[in-house]
Amino acid sequence: MPPQVISRVRIRRTAITVATGIVSLVVIGRVTRVLVDWLWFSSVGHVGVFWTILDARVLLFVAVFAASAVTIAVSGFLAHRYARRFGPIHAGPVSSTAALEVIDELASEVAPRIPWRYAITGAAVLLALLIAAGEVSNWDIVLRFLYQVPFGERDPIFGNDIGFYLFSLPVYVALKNWLLQVLFGSTVVAGAVYGLRGDLATGKPPHVLSRAAATHGSALLGLFFLVKAGSYWLDRFLLLYGDNGVVVGASYTDVHVELPVLWLLIGLAIGASVVSWANMRWRSYRIPAAAVLLVFGSSVVFAVIYPAMFQRFYVKPSELRLETPYIEHNIALTRKAYGLAQIAVRPFAAQQGLNLASLQSNRATIENIRLWDLQPLMDTYAQLQEIRTYYRFLSVDIDRYWLDAGYRQVMLSARELDTAMLPANAQTWVNLHLLFTHGNGVVMSPVTEKSAEGLPSLYLQDIPPVSNGGPAIREPRLYFGQGVQGYVIVKGSVPEFDYPQGKENVYAAYSGHDGVGIGSTARRILFAWQLGDPNILLTSYITDASRILLHRNIEERVRTVAPFLDFDHDPYLVVSSGRLFWILDAYTTSRWFPYSQPATGDGTNYIRNAVKVVVDAYNGTVEFFVSDPADPILRTYQRIFPSLFRPLDAMPQDLRQHIRYPEDLFLIQAQLYRTYHMDAPEVFYNREDLWQFPRELAGIDAGNTPGAQMTPYYMIMRLPGEQRAEFVLLLPMVPSQRDNMIAWLAARCDPSEYGKLIVYTFPKDKLVYGPFQIEARIQQNTEISQQISLWNQMGSRVIRGHLVVVPIENSILYVSPLYLRAASGQLPELKRVIAAYGERVVMQDTLAQALAALFEETSPAISKSSGTADARAHEALARYNRALERLKAGDWSGFGLELDALRPLLESLDDGRPQNKK
């Protein structure tokens, strides 16, 4: 055998070996990934979800791959079979003889060397793999299409059930895109065959196009125009997602111009398809060129230029009159998409009627006014309660508990383990994956109380957790949390570090339910390969009972189980029945709700908080509870994954007491409600009553900043007209370009009223100070500004806390904390409380003292100016002063007793007062 042939054989064998090795590694990686996922899903009790998603992905991949590969291969083999069967068609002055000589030379040199069967098959398979890999991510919309449920309402233009847009239209658009990709791949392969066979030459003259190539190209062009006709048909429905700056959705121009034009383009595309197929007989290049020019030229003229001219010269001069019906559609369906239609509107008198009796009757609200901001409190927790450098507080959560002290709003944070904070020489494989496996305990403090030093009062503290009025904790260990955590192996021969105790350490062993068995050699090989960690196979610390814990970050964990849901940014920790749980709010979303204003950067225009997810911080169990059973997207997922979701009533009662309205959803709804509270088209069009979020000052340089946008906040309060205090999420509103307050929006969180939204609107003829105006008055208060300047000059830094707007009955109270931190320190201390009501602004050491200072003016009924020497007046004044003293001391019980004794005295004085006569 000649050396050249031997060399080629060796090169070919080497290439085959390398390719086989690469493919084998890819296949092994995929198989091991599937095995690991199957074992993990089985361990958490959701293997049904795993198989449903895997089956959908595999079936979709196989179907798309097979259809794509067959179509592309058929196109390529047809080109191979008929190439050069007929004489050439050529354009230009060059003679056919010269052209054929060039073609024959090319074909004689290149074409015989190509293994056409393998080349075409390989190209088809490669392109089909690329197409299928891109389409497999659409498994979700395919399953939603197959299991869809009706929405129950119809769109105003085409009369389709809205479920058509949520479930069917995305599939049709994806199908159209896939057909275009397949046509493109078929054209590329066929063109390559014709080019290499000499039937196609488009470079320097002569320009050659064989009759076979012309026939094949006409057939493919006809198919393209047919798909294009379908695309124009889908574009009719896509008009419902347009935005012309006035209307989101189909506008007057869309309905009266774009829609008829699309029908015209559909007809032209179908006609062009028929003509292209007819050209398979005529084989003229002029006919396809004319078809392309007609369809795309008409598209530019009739679908781009004409609607723009119509909009500018006909609609614009009479825009409000013509667009009114479509503005109404936009308002109604946007409110439907975001649940804004369910917001109850109630008047709020914004009176100046607060007094000491009002404070006593709203004691639950006063005692739960939040004085601790998240960042200063987390800094304080870190300094006081991290205990060791490898513990961290990653976030502070806000919740409420029934404690011995009553219904209390508290702030709490989990003490999580951060192995990255271990000393560098201690970051060994054994420490990272066998020894340091979990965090420990929770810190909890009330939102209002502070010590004499300005530090938070702790309901829960230390390791193991010590309760000082907080809930008892029996199992404080956190194997699952918010930190970025890798895998750990439990039940090995190495005891797990539990917590430090003096100079010694206490160790524990995991007894929970989570984990995948890793004791066998096969399992160790599997996980060593998949995780890329040979230590799993080589270590001697793994026993037959050992288990590996994966996906320990709770957000990653729930997304792995339910990748089709979106999740709130703020999971929160709950202490329930002596154990620790994480609660996450999950959303069903869509970008396909017609006539709805998109609320996020990714185009989402529909959202529901349909699911509450509970993750056991010790056992790792993940449970999904339905919080919005009416949501059609969730009902569809319930049909797809029948074993995944449970009714909310199945959630343990103690946990249900801690569900809350999610902040992300509330913020989206509030942002949209700023505009979409206007339901009159003419008001909406003119933006006459546009609202915005208030500005506030907070932070170290609060006095030198222009003001940041106020964010929603949780608080316990008694809503106007309600009998008891409850946990709500609240946000004030101000008019556009103004700072006075015009309304406040509240979401009710307690289970009996959960999910109800109320907006309280102020009288438009009355000035109610907004947060930024109160901030300005605080800055202008000479006593406060001088004290802040003095502190800043003494080596300390003043941190202004967030201003809290506190509605009480029909009045508004404003409270803001003030922290002091050493210039070189990291321990903020709550030193003062600023309160404002009406025209008065005060600053005192405590909230109780600030409230007493606000209401220290003597009641007219007992003022000395009355000139009476009646003993009852003296006694009433004494009772009033004692009530103030009790309030300043924070003695609510004594404050209430003094007020109860004061009331009959005031009534008797009022009865004895002479009446004015006319």
pLDDT digits (tens, 9 = 90+) for 596-647: 999 988 899 999 999 999 999 999 999 999 999 999 999 999 999 999 999 9
Give 3-state DSSP helix, strand, coil % of the chain, rounded to 5: 50, 20, 30
pLDDT of residue 157: 97
Q: Check whether 658 has a pLDDT greater than 50.
A: yes
pLDDT of residue 206: 53
Mean pLDDT for the chain? 89
pLDDT of residue 312: 96
- Check if the beta carbon of residue 714 is closer than 8 Å to that of residue 658: no
Residue 286 pLDDT grade (very low, low, confident, very high; cuts 50, 70, 90): confident
For the ranges 430-439, 584-593, 714-723, 793-802, the lowest mean pLDDT is seen at: 793-802
**Distance between CA atoms of residues 799 and 700, nearest Å:** 4
Q: Check whether 702 has a pLDDT greater than 60.
A: no
Q: Give the tens place of pLDDT for each residue, 779-803.
A: 899 999 999 888 888 778 899 999 9
**Distance between CA atoms of residues 408 and 419, nearest Å:** 34
**Distance between CA atoms of residues 136 and 60, nearest Å:** 6
Q: Extract the tokens encoding 715.
A: 């608080």
Question: What sign for the dihedral angle of Cα 462, 465, 470, 476?
Answer: positive
Would you list the DSSP string of 654-676? HHHTT----HHHHHHHHHHHHHH
| 879: CB partners within 8 A, 6+ apart | 898, 901, 902, 905
Question: What sign for the dihedral angle of Cα 486, 490, 492, 494?
Answer: positive
Residue 30 pLDDT grade (very low, low, confident, very high; cuts 50, 70, 90): confident
**Distance between CA atoms of residues 866 and 478, nearest Å:** 66
**Distance between CA atoms of residues 361 and 305, nearest Å:** 67
Q: Give the tens place of pLDDT for each residue, 178-200.
A: 999 999 999 999 999 988 877 77
pLDDT of residue 796: 85
- Quote the distance between the C-alpha of residue 571 and its chain's center: 12
Q: Check whether 100 has a pLDDT greater than 70.
A: no
Tracing tokens 């969730």 back to the chain, one arrives at 634
* Biggest CA pair distance of the chain: 134
Prior bond to 206 cis, omega within 30? yes
pLDDT of residue 120: 93
For the ranges 295-304, 523-532, 846-855, the lowest mean pLDDT is seen at: 846-855
In the chain, what are the domain boundaries?
22-319, 338-367+663-851, 395-552, 559-658, 858-918
Question: Of 9-13, 385-389, 547-551, which one has max mean pLDDT?
Answer: 547-551
Mean pLDDT (whole number) for 844-850: 92
Residue 105 pLDDT grade (very low, low, confident, very high; cuts 50, 70, 90): low
Q: Give the tens place of pLDDT for each residue, 527-584.
A: 999 999 999 999 999 999 999 999 999 999 999 999 999 999 999 999 999 999 999 9
Q: Give the tens place of pLDDT for each residue, 732-772.
A: 999 998 999 999 999 999 998 999 999 999 998 889 999 99
Q: Check whether 128 has a pLDDT greater than 90.
A: yes
Residue 201 pLDDT grade (very low, low, confident, very high; cuts 50, 70, 90): low
**Strand (E) positions, 680-828?**
691-692, 695-696, 708-709, 713-717, 726-735, 743-748, 757-761, 796-800, 804-808, 811-822
pLDDT of residue 918: 37
Residue 90 pLDDT grade (very low, low, confident, very high; cuts 50, 70, 90): very low
**Distance between CA atoms of residues 908 and 502, nearest Å:** 65
| Residues β-bridged to residue 719 | none
pLDDT of residue 691: 96
Q: Extract the tokens encoding 854.
A: 């606000």
**Distance between CA atoms of residues 303 and 258, nearest Å:** 6
For the ranges 558-567, 670-679, 837-846, the lowest mean pLDDT is seen at: 837-846
Distances (CA, A) of 548 to 45, 166, 226, 508, 552: 16, 40, 55, 16, 11
Q: Check whether 426 has a pLDDT greater than 80.
A: yes
Tracing tokens 């967030």 back to the chain, one arrives at 802
**Distance between CA atoms of residues 587 and 633, nearest Å:** 10
Question: What sign for the dihedral angle of Cα 157, 159, 161, 166?
Answer: negative
Percent of the chain with pLDDT over 70: 88
pTM to 2 decimal places: 0.89
- Check if the beta carbon of residue 99 is closer than 8 Å to that of residue 208: yes
Q: Check whether 370 has a pLDDT greater than 50.
A: yes
| 737: CB partners within 8 A, 6+ apart | 692
pLDDT of residue 795: 78
Q: Check whether 519 has a pLDDT greater than 70.
A: yes
pLDDT of residue 663: 96
CB count in 10 Å sphere of residue 18: 10
CA atoms within 13 A on the CB side of 497: 21
132-137 own/partner pairs: CB under 8 Å, 24+ apart: 132/61, 132/62, 132/64, 132/65, 132/68, 133/61, 134/181, 135/60, 135/61, 135/64, 135/174, 135/178, 136/57, 136/60, 136/61, 136/64
- Check if the beta carbon of residue 725 is closer than 8 Å to that of residue 364: yes
Question: Of 77-91, 113-127, 413-427, which one has max mean pLDDT?
Answer: 413-427
Question: How would you classify residue 461: left for phi > 0, otherwise alpha for psi between -120 and 50, otherwise beta?
Answer: beta
Question: Which residue in 914, 743, 862 sits closest to 355, CA to CA?
Answer: 862
Would you list the DSSP string of 459-505? SEETTTTEESSS---S--EESSBSS----EEESSSSPEEEEEETTEE
pLDDT of residue 117: 87
CA atoms within 13 A on the CB side of 413: 26
Q: Extract the tokens encoding 760.
A: 């309280």
Pairing verdict, β 88-91 and 460-461: unpaired
pLDDT of residue 567: 97
Mean pLDDT (whole number) for 523-529: 95
Percent of the chain with pLDDT over 90: 73
pLDDT of residue 112: 65
- Quote the distance between the C-alpha of residue 157 and its chain's center: 31
